[in-house]
């Protein structure tokens, strides 16, 4: 673990960590003097400030992780509810009297809309274009309907609800069972709203400003408080403490927005691919992705 680089925040904090260490070396060489003036500091104020700073960092990181875990829970719910809907479509919906003897063609229409919803949700949260996924999943009229929509995942849930209404009016599903299929659709709407809330409501910027300023001031002044006590070891201790504070701040800022593309954000590409794969497997269709066709570095971290 000492030499792990991938997924670490070290590459993000390396410049400021290096600058802080070099500054500590300079202070050590000058024995805590600045322009012939000896700065009279010891470790006592840093103990008090460090305790306060640790409390603030703990709050910031706890809040960021709570957002991260809630987002992961919401996506877990998306997986469960899409599976439930496809299972119900396969087992509860009757085939058309004049058509196939199986419910599979009917269920496939719902499954593709749900898969498109999953990809549309990922693209909305990352502010990317879902056109390529829509082109391989949806019919031309559906793509045209979605083209100018601002909230495409919500419209796809509406289309899934329309599919259910059409089956009910055609007598392919018992009205008493409609409510059972509406519940997973309602939970998908809740998951969509929860993800939008997390993406659109960051932690108040004031917390980040206070913590950022305090950490940098603490690390700049720290060598002046240590040099008289530990001498040549000052840069080493300063580098270690600065790494701890810089890394915790950077990690909190990274997971605060869990839908991004940074290494410690949620693996939305992997989860979207897995949801599509499991729904297609339920339909008896070939898997669109396999371990050999998706690069591991992309599949695991995005």
The share of the chain scoring above pLDDT 90, in percent, equals: 47
Residue 178 lies in a domain: yes
Residue 132 lies in a domain: yes
pTM, rounded to two decimals? 0.83
Structural domains of the chain, count: 1
Residue 150 lies in a domain: yes
CA distance 5 to 250: 15
Residue 14 lies in a domain: no
Range of the domain at 108: 43-202+256-301
Per-residue model confidence as pLDDT tens digits over 29-71? 887 676 666 667 777 788 788 888 888 888 888 999 999 999 9
Residue 7 lies in a domain: no
Q: Supply the mean pLDDT for the chain.
A: 86
CA distance 239 to 244: 9
Name the packing angle between helices 152-169 and 104-126 (round to 10°).
Answer: 160
The share of the chain scoring above pLDDT 70, in percent, equals: 88
Compute the average pLDDT of residues 115-131: 95
Check residue 32 and give its pLDDT.
64
Residue 259: pLDDT band by 50, 70, 90 thresholds? very high
Residue 18 lies in a domain: no
Q: What phi, psi does 118 have (nearest 5°)?
A: -60, -45
Residue 32 lies in a domain: no
CA distance 147 to 129: 11
């Amino acid at each position: 673990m000492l030499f792990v680089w991938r997924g670490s925040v070290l590459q993000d904090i390396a410049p400021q960590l290096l600058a802080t260490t070099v500054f500590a070396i300079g202070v050590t060489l000058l024995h805590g003097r600045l322009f012939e003036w000896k700065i009279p500091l010891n470790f006592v104020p840093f103990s008090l400030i460090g305790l306060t700073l640790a409390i603030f960092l703990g709050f910031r990181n706890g809040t960021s992780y709570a957002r991260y875990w809630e987002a992961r829970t919401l996506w877990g719910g998306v997986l469960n509810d899409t599976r439930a809907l496809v299972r119900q479509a396969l087992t509860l919906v009757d085939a058309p009297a004049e058509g196939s003897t199986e419910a599979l063609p009917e269920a496939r229409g719902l499954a593709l809309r749900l898969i498109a919803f999953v990809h549309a949700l990922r693209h909305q949260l990352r502010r990317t274009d879902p056109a390529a996924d829509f082109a391989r999943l949806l019919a031309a009229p559906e793509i045209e309907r979605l083209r100018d929509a601002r909230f495409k995942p919500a419209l796809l849930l509406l289309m899934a609800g329309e599919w259910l209404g059409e089956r009910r009016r055609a007598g392919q599903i018992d009205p008493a069972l409609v409510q059972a299929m509406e519940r997973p659709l309602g939970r998908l709407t809740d998951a969509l709203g929860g993800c939008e809330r997390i993406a659109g409501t960051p932690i108040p910027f004031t917390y980040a400003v206070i913590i950022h300023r305090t950490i940098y001031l603490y690390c700049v002044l720290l060598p002046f408080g240590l040099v008289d006590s530990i001498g040549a070891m000052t840069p080493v201790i300063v580098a270690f403490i600065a790494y701890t504070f810089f890394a915790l701040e950077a990690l909190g800022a990274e997971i605060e927005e869990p839908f991004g593309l940074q290494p410690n954000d949620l693996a939305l590409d992997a989860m979207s691919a897995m949801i599509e794969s499991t729904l297609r497997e339920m339909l008896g269709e070939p898997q669109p992705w396999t371990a050999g066709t998706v690069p591991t570095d992309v599949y695991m971290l995005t």
